[in-house]
Amino acid sequence: MKSTYITFTTVVGSQGTDLDLSYRSKERIVVGCGTETGTNDHTYTVVTDQRLLDDLMSRDDINTTYVAPRSLYAKHIWKPNIECLPPFEELRDYDFNPEAVSPQQVALALACWIGAPSVFLLGYHLENVRESPALQAFARIYPHTKFAYIRKPNPQKINLFSDHANVVIDDTNTFREMIKDVVKS
């Protein structure tokens, strides 16, 4: 089954991706410094580590906007190319703390907060203890957002999201074909 998306945001997770990201998405949110993506063409880079942010902000070749929790943002407030993470009011009842969860969960929260109707998850690490339950929670909290977990071709099925109609699992080959169709139109 071929999935189609009209307006979408791409979240590149902690594992990075070797996919060609030259297509245009509304926003592109990358975890960490984003060097694993092979491109610097992204809109936002989520950074939740103080030392990494300090190193990145000291560079002259910044071509992204870093997004950091308030405590990290405060140190670099007067510099260009940095924004403070939003308060994530809709996640307050879930004790969501950007400084306590993984950067890819923060990137996903940012994509949902932006209001993208579709979110592609590339290089998104799904480990059983925290990341899979977190993605399931996001699917419940944002039922009108369509999440597409894109993984390398694998005949084994992931049934973690079978209860969530707004989560699809596609492989990279399907994703490449879909992107070709989007770029043509």
Q: Which residue has the tokens 């880079």?
A: 45
pLDDT band for position 130 (cuts 50, 70, 90): confident
Q: How many domains does the chain have?
A: 1
Element (H, E) at 54: helix 50-57
Q: What is the mean pLDDT of residues 147-159?
A: 79
The number of beta carbons lying within 10 Å of the beta carbon of residue 70 is 13
Evaluate whether residue 164 is within a structural domain: yes
List, in order, residues 6 or more apart from 44 with CB less than 8 Å away. 27, 28, 29, 30, 64, 65, 66, 67, 83, 107, 110
Evaluate whether residue 3 is within a structural domain: no
Closest to 116 in 3D by CA, of 145, 90, 83? 145
Evaluate whether residue 152 is within a structural domain: yes
Residue 175 DSSP symbol: H
pTM, two decimals, is: 0.78
How far apart CA 145 and CA 107 sit, in angstroms, is 15
pLDDT of 150 above 90: no
Evaluate whether residue 44 is within a structural domain: yes
3-state secondary structure of 57: helix
Top pLDDT among 40 and 95 is at 95
Evaluate whether residue 2 is within a structural domain: no
Evaluate whether residue 157 is within a structural domain: yes
Evaluate whether residue 36 is within a structural domain: yes
Evaluate whether residue 101 is within a structural domain: yes
Q: Give the pLDDT confidence of 80-129 residue by residue, as tens digits.
A: 889 899 999 889 888 899 988 888 888 889 888 888 788 888 878 887 68
Closest to 82 in 3D by CA, of 92, 91, 71? 71
Domain span at residue 86 reads: 8-184
